[in-house]
Structure 1
């Protein structure tokens, strides 16, 4: 039976119960009984029609923020794996520079995603015609410099939680909460702006043309 049918049946039952109660009341006060039935129906209706709200987990909230403010390059599943890997690295006290290069790999890129990364380089060939990876290398350097302080702050928080014997799952959730808190337009704007300014005109053209999915450039007027 569908949810709509169940609601209709429940409402009907409420009316029947209210009418039965009214019928058993004094026959000298029909108006009062009818009012009681109507009141019962009105009281039952909101509760029956109310739908439970779907709770968003801290990890999903972080994923949503990444896709809304930073990049749509990764799928939800890939971002989930990347966040898990980062939380694991932070919990294991791994330095950011050591963790950074393994995070993307943990997402297991598809062939089409790898092709996009290759195009960013192929569009910025050097004078000899060889493919250059300079745009991605420069972008990586900016990301490392900009994100490392926040990563270190998260590490301090998780270290304190571990010292207080907090469960590993609680530590992971706190990482997701902190990622979600950090990802604001005010924090992301200078990162993407610096990536652009670090590139030559030709490199930026390649990055903007072929790597439009890597970062949400247009959201920041870039």
Structure 2
């Protein structure tokens, strides 16, 4: 189901990239280089043994700020695919559309999507199609911003592991409550009253509306 695949990818990637502020996207290359040097270090320690990696930090922020739709394992696979795509310099749309295959979703996840769309799909698509359009519009500049940073790291002969780690660092760094709230408000504004009601009542795990007063 193509729309399911696209939406699932949008939910994840948007949280990492699309909700970055304009100021973040316009940061200078020297600031990016400094950020790359600092951010390669482990973020936090849990207790005395377990390191919280940049990828896990991104996963935690996704589940806290935007969506509880995915499991940690699903998010880990999606974020790994995204990092690999950026490292391989894949075009934005090619990567975005292939991050999640339909068979990556559970039956219960597919059912949630069907409930949101049920009876509300018109000529211009249902509420998830509109949400996807918003996410796509916000996503591309930040995907490209990360790609530029990784390209520069590769030219400087940084290892692939360092580059993949930096993708996760930058995605986690883009997440703030204020930025996520702006994206979700934009999505809500794109929906009709009936579409919003369906999204809000049937898709509570798709987007954490209540976290942002929506």
CA distance in 1, matches of 2:170, 2:102: 20
Structure 1 residues 217 and 189: alpha-carbon distance in aligned structure 2, compared to 1, 3 A threshold: same
* Corresponding residue to 2:76 among 77, 80, 94: 80
> What is the aligned partner in structure 1 of residue 168 from structure 2?
176
> What is the aligned partner in structure 2 of residue 111 from structure 1?
107
Runs of 4+ in 1 over 3 A off after TM superposition: none
Structure 1 residues 125 and 156: alpha-carbon distance in aligned structure 2, compared to 1, 3 A threshold: closer
- Preserved contact between residue 121 and residue 127 of structure 2 (Cα < 8 Å): no
SS at match of 1:136: helix
**Larger RCO: 1 or 2 (CA < 8 Å, sep 6+):** 2
Please, what is the CA RMSD of the aligned residues? Answer: 1.9
> How far apart are 1:74 and its partner, in Å?
0.2
Structure 1 residues 125 and 147: alpha-carbon distance in aligned structure 2, compared to 1, 3 A threshold: closer
Q: How does 1:1-222 map to 2 (within 5 A)?
A: 52-105=48-101, 108-124=104-120, 126=122, 133-222=125-214
TM-score, normalization: structure 1? Answer: 0.71
**Unaligned residue ranges in structure 1 (runs of 5+):** 1-50
Structure 1 residues 95 and 106: alpha-carbon distance in aligned structure 2, compared to 1, 3 A threshold: farther
- 1:114-133 per-residue CA deviation (whole Å, 9 max, x = no partner) reads 1111111105255xxx9x84
- Preserved contact between residue 81 and residue 106 of structure 1 (Cα < 8 Å): no
- Preserved contact between residue 138 and residue 199 of structure 1 (Cα < 8 Å): yes
TM-score, normalization: structure 2? Answer: 0.74
> What is the aligned partner in structure 2 of residue 18 from structure 1?
none
> How far apart are 1:88 and its partner, in Å?
0.9
Number of matched pairs: 168
Query: For structure 1, which segment, 165-174 or 99-108, has the greater mean C-alpha deviation from structure 2 after superposition?
Result: 99-108
- 1:105-151 per-residue CA deviation (whole Å, 9 max, x = no partner) reads 2881111101111111105255xxx9x84211111111111121111
Mark the structure with the bigger radius of gyration: 1
Would you tell me which structure has more helix in proportion to its own residues?
1
- 1:32-82 per-residue CA deviation (whole Å, 9 max, x = no partner) reads xxxxxxxxxxxxxxxxxxx62432011111100110111100000000001
